[in-house]
Structures are given as structure tokens and as C-alpha cells.
Structure 1
Amino acid sequence: MESAKEVIMKYLDEKTGAKSKFYFNDFTKLFPDAKGREVKKVLTALVKEEKVEYWSSGSTTMYGKAGAGKQGAAEHED
């Protein structure tokens, strides 16, 4: 699980400049031999560790690096 977390965090670090939110399927492509449920467990663990956060439009749930992107910046304004 720790190595999978590292793969996801590296992917987010590399891609965050281009975009800040990613679909679940973007992460399943990183682990072609893993089942979706296994990838979901890794993402959930990263959310619990507050390294990754959920973002929902109401109909779509996406994932992003905690505090990254326009939404993250706006949430920390006083």
C-alpha cells in the first residue's frame, strides 16, 4: 500500500501544474493489474492522511492534492 501511495503522490506532483483535479479512472490507469476497489482503498487512505482531498460537483467526484488548485486556495481565504 505504501508504494501505491507513493505512485499516486508522484503522479499528483507531476500533473498538478497542468490541472489540479483528477477522475478516479486517471488513477486506475496507474495500476492496470489492480482492481478498482484496491485503488479506491489507497485513495481513501491518502484522504484520511489529508494528503489528497475529494472534490465534488454534485454529480462527479474527483481527487486532488490537498490545498492545490483554485478551490484549495479559495477555501483558505479569511
Structure 2
Amino acid sequence: MALDLATAKEQIIDFIHSKSSSKSKFYFNDFTKLFPDEKARDVKKVLTALVNDGVMIFWSSGSTTMYGLAGEGKQTAGEGEG
């Protein structure tokens, strides 16, 4: 993996916090734009590590999968996360 895992995790979390006033869930492509010189697979590995660490969660509408910070967002209480 060309990305430094710790640095990439920090960049993703900072990005989410910078957008937290307007949205709580993000598409995969939102994160690939943060790392334009990296392969999508490497970005996916960073996101998966954040999910495995419990920092982020998957959210699915049934047709679309999005990512969000664990415990944040409008649906948190309804999903038993908060």
C-alpha cells in the first residue's frame, strides 16, 4: 500500500469533521478524491481499517453503501448506535 495508514486515517477523519455541519454520510468516491494519486483499492483498505477499528461504520440504503463516523448522524438513535 502506497498510503501511510495512520496518516490516511487522520486525513479521512479530518475531512469528515470538516463536513460534519452539512452531512454525516459519505460515498466511497468522496474519499478517493482525497487521494487522487492512489488506487481506489488502497483507499478502500484505509476505510476498511477504520471500520474494523470501530471509528467508522457502513450505512446502506439497500442500493447504496456509505460511510460515516460511528455514533454520529441523524439515524444513530434509530439504529441502536447511540
| TM class by smaller structure | over 0.9
Find the counterpart in structure 2 of residue 46 from structure 1. 50
Unaligned runs of 5+ in 1: none
Deviations 1:46-76 (A, max 9, x none): 0001111000011100000111111113234
Q: Give the Cα–Cα distance (whole angstroms) in 2 for the partners of residues 75 and 57 of structure 1.
A: 13
Aligned counterparts, 1:51-70, within 5 A? 51-70=55-74
Runs ≥4 residues deviating over 6 A: none
Q: 1:12 pairs with 16, 20, 25, which one? A: 16
Q: Supply the RMSD in Å over aligned alpha carbons.
A: 1.2
TM-score, normalization by structure 2: 0.88
The number of equivalent residue pairs is: 77
TM-score, normalization by structure 1: 0.93
Q: Percent identity?
A: 64
Unaligned runs of 5+ in 2: none
More helix by share: 1
- Counterpart residue identity of residue 46, structure 1: L
Pairing 1:37–2:41 present: yes
